[in-house]
Amino acid sequence: MSEVSAEQQQSDPTDETKVVQYLRENPEVLMAYPEVFSSLVIPHMTGGATSLVERQLKLLREENQALKSKIDELVGIARENEELNQRFHRLALELMNTDQLHDILSMVQDQVQTFFYTDFVCFRFLPGVGEAENILDGLYLDSESDIVDSVKPWIEARKPVCGQQDENINRGLFGPDIRIGSSALIPLYHTDDLGLLCLGSVNADRFGVSMGTIFLQQLGELVSTRLKILLQAG
Residue type, 234: G
Residue 73 CA to residue 69 CA, distance in Å, equals 6
54-84 as b/e: b if 16+ CB within 10 A: eeebeeeeeeeeeeeeeeeeeeeeeeeeeee
Domains of the chain: 100-233 (3.30.450.40)
Which residues fall within 8 angstroms of residue 122, CB to CB, at 6 or more apart?
Answer: 109, 139, 173, 174, 197, 198, 200
- Quote the pLDDT of residue 40: 64
Q: Using 50, 70 and 90 to split pLDDT, how confident is the model at 2? A: very low
In terms of pLDDT, which residue wins out, 182 or 18?
182
Tens of pLDDT, residues 169-214: 999 999 999 999 999 999 999 888 999 999 999 999 999 988 888 8
Q: How many CB atoms lie within 10 A of CB 163?
A: 14
Tens of pLDDT, residues 88-109: 788 888 888 888 899 999 999 9
Could you tell me the pTM of the whole model? Answer: 0.67
- Quote the pLDDT of residue 86: 82
Average pLDDT over residues 115-124: 92
